[in-house]
Amino acid sequence: MTQQKKNPVVALFASVQLALFLLFFLAATSIIGTLIPQNSPQGVYIEKFGLKTANLLHMLDITDMYNSWWFLGLLTIFSMNLLVCSLERIPQVIRTIRRDGLAVKPELLEKFPLREVVTVAMPPEEMGRRVLSLFSKQGWKARDTASDKGRLFFAEKGPWSRFGVYVVHCSILIILAGALVGSPTIAQKILRNPLFAFKGSVMITENGSSDQIISLKDGKPLDLGFLVRCDTFNIEYYPNGMPKTYRSEVTVIDDGKPVMSTAIEVNRPLTYKGITFYQSSYQPYQDYVVTVKNQATGAETKEVIAPARQMDWREAGVSYGIVNRESQGEVTRRIKVWFTDNQGEPSIFWVNINQEALVERPSGTYRFQARQIYATGLQVAKDPGVWLVYSGCLLMLVGLFIAFFLSHRKIYALVQPHDMGSRILFAGEANKNKVGFTDKFSQFISKLEK
Amino acid sequence: MDSSQLFGITMIAYLLAAAFYLGLFIFKTPRLGWIGMLLAVGGMGIQTAAIGLRWYESYQMGVGHAPLTNMYESLVFFAWCTTLFYLFMEFRFKTRVMGAFVMPCVAIAMAYASFSDRIDAQINPLIPALQSNWLIAHVVTCFIGYGAFAVAGALGLMYLMKLSAENKPANVHALSASLPELKVIDDLTHKTIVFGFMWLSAGIITGAIWANEAWGTYWSWDPKETWSIITWFMYASTLHARFTRGWRGRRIAWLAIIGFIAVFFTYFGVNFLLSGLHSYGSN
């Protein structure tokens, strides 16, 4: 190995000291953003911390610190550190792996911390055969070489496990690369194509549709290139009143033709042309779709009405209206209905939203049902980097497993003539879990047939 | 018999186990440790049954879901994981006195879950955000990691006690005589941190994938996410300090304790002190 003079910058980026410093510094600075609220309006900071501190926070980008120049700068230095230190060490690892175990000097074996000497009254040739069979029976593929010092056997397992830690380093770089590919800022400012990667949201009223979403970053509209229609939005409740499901039935209309109709729920997004729609919020309107049906004739009417307005169904001679409501926030749970067919006293009754009420009138029995009108709020995201991130995550788990639980183990056996018999020097080496390997090593030798 | 009664018995078993393990540590009578171990194993068995029963009860109520969805259930699961991991270590490495450091933590977690006013032990239906197959994968991976880190923190404490006793007169020394060799504690601490780190990584990854399924962002720097990555950074530095700078013993023991404080804050502090997307864990 030639000793080159290292560039001091390269040396810095290759150093573990820098890695330790960065890990500590990233951890310490990350705490700030969990204590100081992120991305709130400036007024909130002024109220909380005073004008001077608020201005300082703003100047240092602490109000959006995870996207700030200095935090991203730290991450960049961290990536360079990972890259340079890995690139510098990998050639050494390759050299270590390629080093031929048979080339080891027999004198050196005598100095191994892990060694054991066995002497037997058996000629070295016969003992050599037994040692070879010991290796193969214990699942080690041994090679051997002869010299004037005796016959040396060598076998190793898991040399490639030395790469484990670099697999982990590489996986982190892949994850960060995936984050760059999926970054809306890069899509906008560098690729000049905001549609390459974005995050946004859209509110669609029931029966309404939209081909635009609002970008989360700057509030500007983005064209989807197709239309999303919200057919219905529904909330289901558990008996105790907790929400059970938020569901939007939507239809995607591309080129004027409906191409898919499906339901979006929390944890069940819809993906179309690489763009994914997530159920994220809703907005109840104070308007209701009312359906009235004459049970005998089957005649039906469907109207949108606001509270405290009279609606007339002229063909049937029926009039109705909502006179009172019981709501939870903006969500109506039941309504009080005024209903008449202009014969006798009007009927007044409470009915739950989405449930049918039977109204007995002189002119017949009517089925009355009302549902509230909603707009559904969808998060919309396109992230072409997500598969890179997922692959990086998988690679990280594999790398961690290799780095922590597998090791490079070597066993040497030197068979020499000794006092009419043989002397066998066993030596072993493992780069990790040395305690565990010491036991394996003793077990290995105990299986030798003498 | 319902699951809450079984959890009550579990809590008593763990409290007694902690007391007997402490007895072993102080009086060095092997029989006390043996009783402590039996109590821990028994408590663990009853707790396993109780978790299964609570799961079943939730289906009886028509809101069936794995019992891993609020602070009460997560504390119970934390106690379960830590005991399981500890018992594995005890059998594998024959270090019974470690129980004097681990089982009190477990007993406190169970007692806190049962008695704190802030914690609701009711079985509640799942809100839409939690209705996902990732729930089990995410919670289980995280909590195996938390359990391992709790044991690592206890080992770090054990190391420091042993170390300080070795520099003091013989009568103090006697108390820690029952503790394993410093070298052994150091090795166990390292192995435990490595194991926990694997699972913490898996927990963060499953969480990220789930977040992407539910909200369309795998990482949004919400306080829980940020604190989990802070914890990850801390253990990553600990491992690098050991592997490449050769840190051993006292320094690693301190890092194991500081690491567990970070875990504790990620788990508790974030829910109670900071607000964010993970707020359903706070009651």
Q: Taking CA atoms, what residue in A is nearest to B126?
A: A244
pLDDT-derived band at B171, boundaries 50, 70, 90: low
Interface contact B137, partner A, CB < 8 A:
no
How confident is the model over A68-91, as a mean pLDDT?
Answer: 92
Tell me phi and psi for residue A195, to 5 degrees: -85, -5
**Domain identity same for A314 and A339:** yes
Task: Give residue A103's pLDDT.
Answer: 85
Q: How many domains does chain B have?
A: 2
Identity at A407, one-letter amino acid code: S
Minimum distance, in Å, between the CA of residue A266 and any CA atom of chain B: 6
Task: Give residue B275's pLDDT.
Answer: 63
To 5 degrees, how large is the angle CA A372–CA A374–CA A377?
160
ipTM above 0.85, yes or no: yes
Residue A261 in this model has a pLDDT that exceeds 90: yes
Among residues B74, B105, B126, the one where a domain terminates is B126
Identity at A285, one-letter amino acid code: Y
Residues with Cβ within 8 Å of A24's Cβ and at least 6 positions away in sequence, in order, are: B233, B234, B237
Domain coverage including residue A433: 99-158+408-446
**Domain identity same for A306 and A442:** no
Q: Taking CA atoms, what residue in B is nearest to A184?
A: B217
Least CB-CB distance to B128: which of A179, A243, A383? A243
Residues 37-56 of B with CB under 8 A from A: none
Quote the CA–CA distance of A252 and A263 in Å, as a whole number.
Answer: 11
Quote the CA–CA distance of B78 and B203 in Å, as a whole number.
Answer: 14
Residue A3 in this model has a pLDDT that exceeds 70: no
Q: Which chain B residues are within 8 Å of A270, Cβ to Cβ?
A: none
pLDDT in tens, A59-72: 888 888 888 899 99
**Domain identity same for B119 and B198:** no
Residue A377 in this model has a pLDDT that exceeds 60: yes
Residue B225 in this model has a pLDDT that exceeds 80: yes
Minimum distance, in Å, between the CA of residue A34 and any CA atom of chain B: 5
**For A2-6, A423-427, B118-122, which range has the lowest pLDDT when averaged over its residues?**
A2-6
Residue B277 in this model has a pLDDT that exceeds 60: no
**Domain identity same for A291 and A350:** yes
Q: Which chain B residues are within 8 Å of A245, Cβ to Cβ?
A: 128
pLDDT-derived band at B255, boundaries 50, 70, 90: very high
Domain coverage including residue B104: 1-126
Among residues A96, A117, A133, the one where a domain terminates is A96
Residues with Cβ within 8 Å of A49's Cβ and at least 6 positions away in sequence, in order, are: A57
**Domain identity same for A384 and A278:** yes
**Domain identity same for A272 and A384:** yes
**Domain identity same for B107 and B207:** no
**Domain identity same for B83 and B142:** no
We report the CATH number of the domain holding residue A151 as: 3.30.310.80
**Domain identity same for B101 and B173:** no
CB-CB neighbours of B236 under 10 Å: 22
**Domain identity same for B137 and B119:** no
pLDDT-derived band at A2, boundaries 50, 70, 90: very low
- For the residues of A346-360, what is the DSSP string, one character each? PEEEEEETT-EEEEE
Q: Which chain B residues are within 8 Å of A396, Cβ to Cβ?
A: 201, 205
**Domain identity same for B172 and B73:** no
pLDDT in tens, A147-159: 888 889 999 999 9
**Domain identity same for A357 and A214:** no
Task: Give residue A344's pLDDT.
Answer: 85
**Domain identity same for A289 and A438:** no
Is the Cβ pair B205, A27 closer than 8 Å?
Answer: no
Q: Taking CA atoms, what residue in B is nearest to A25?
A: B233
**Domain identity same for B198 and B87:** no
pLDDT-derived band at B174, boundaries 50, 70, 90: low
Q: Taking CA atoms, what residue in A is nearest to B216?
A: A381
Looking at chain B, the whole-number percentage of residues with pLDDT higher than 90 is 46
**Domain identity same for B185 and B54:** no
Task: Give residue B175's pLDDT.
Answer: 66
Among residues A43, A62, A96, the one where a domain terminates is A96
Task: Give residue B250's pLDDT.
Answer: 87
Q: Taking CA atoms, what residue in A is nearest to B199?
A: A397
Q: Which chain A residues are within 8 Å of B245, Cβ to Cβ?
A: 16, 20
Residue A443 burial by Cβ neighbours in a 10 Å radius (0-12, 13-18, 19+): exposed
Q: Which chain B residues are within 8 Å of A27, Cβ to Cβ?
A: 230, 233-234, 237
Q: Taking CA atoms, what residue in A is nearest to B195?
A: A404
How confident is the model over B31-57, as a mean pLDDT?
Answer: 91
pLDDT in tens, B57-88: 888 887 888 888 888 898 999 999 999 999 99
Minimum distance, in Å, between the CA of residue A40 and any CA atom of chain B: 14
Minimum distance, in Å, between the CA of residue B216 and any CA atom of chain A: 6
B131, B135, B136, B248: best to mutate for the A interface, most A CBs within 10 A: B131
**Domain identity same for A258 and A335:** no
Instruction: State the DSSP code for B193.
Output: H
Among residues B107, B126, B145, the one where a domain terminates is B126
Least CB-CB distance to A397: which of B202, B233, B245? B202
Query: Looking at per-residue confidence, does B234 or A146 come out higher?
Result: B234
Task: Give residue A248's pLDDT.
Answer: 95
Asked if residue A174 is part of any domain, the answer here is no
Least CB-CB distance to A23: which of B127, B214, B236? B236
Among residues A56, A80, A96, the one where a domain terminates is A96
Structure tokens at B194: 């490595």
**Domain identity same for B117 and B140:** no
**Domain identity same for B91 and B153:** no
CB pairs under 8 A between A and B: 103
**Domain identity same for A144 and A275:** no
Among residues B96, B126, B156, the one where a domain terminates is B126
CB A332 within 8 A of CB A326: yes
Residue B172 in this model has a pLDDT that exceeds 60: no
Structure tokens at B84: 């399981």
Interface contact B273, partner A, CB < 8 A:
no
Is the Cβ pair B219, A30 closer than 8 Å?
Answer: no
Please name which of B135, B103, B116, B12 lies closest in space to residue B71, comparing C-alpha atoms: B116
Asked if residue A2 is part of any domain, the answer here is no
Mean pLDDT (chain A) is: 90
CB B188 within 8 A of CB A170: no
**Domain identity same for B165 and B95:** no
Classify strands A221-237 and A243-254 as parallel, antiparallel or unpaired. antiparallel
**Domain identity same for A200 and A61:** no
B190, B237, B245: best to mutate for the A interface, most A CBs within 10 A: B237
How confident is the model over B205-229, as a mean pLDDT?
Answer: 92
Residue A45 in this model has a pLDDT that exceeds 50: yes
Interface contact B60, partner A, CB < 8 A:
no
How confident is the model over A415-441, as a mean pLDDT?
Answer: 87
Asked if residue A30 is part of any domain, the answer here is yes
Residue B258 in this model has a pLDDT that exceeds 50: yes
Residue B283 in this model has a pLDDT that exceeds 50: no
**Domain identity same for A212 and A148:** no
Is the Cβ pair A238, B125 closer than 8 Å?
Answer: yes
Residue A275 in this model has a pLDDT that exceeds 90: yes
- For the residues of B100-138, what is the DSSP string, one character each? HHHHHHHHHHHHHHHH-TT---S--PPPGGG-STHHHHH
- For the residues of A163-226, what is the DSSP string, one character each? GHHHHHHHHHHHHHHHHHHT-HHHHHHTS--TTSSEEEEEEEETT-EEEEEEETTT--EEEEEE
Q: Which chain B residues are within 8 Å of A169, Cβ to Cβ?
A: none
Residue B279 in this model has a pLDDT that exceeds 80: no
Asked if residue A21 is part of any domain, the answer here is yes
**Domain identity same for A277 and A384:** yes
Mean pLDDT (chain B) is: 87
**For A9-13, A283-287, A288-292, which range has the lowest pLDDT when averaged over its residues?**
A9-13
Is the Cβ pair B198, A401 closer than 8 Å?
Answer: yes
Residue A153's DSSP bridge partners are A144, A413
Q: How many domains does chain A have?
A: 4
CB B224 within 8 A of CB B266: yes
Which of the listed ranges A105-114, A143-152, B134-143 does the model predict with the highest average pLDDT? B134-143
CB B116 within 8 A of CB B75: no
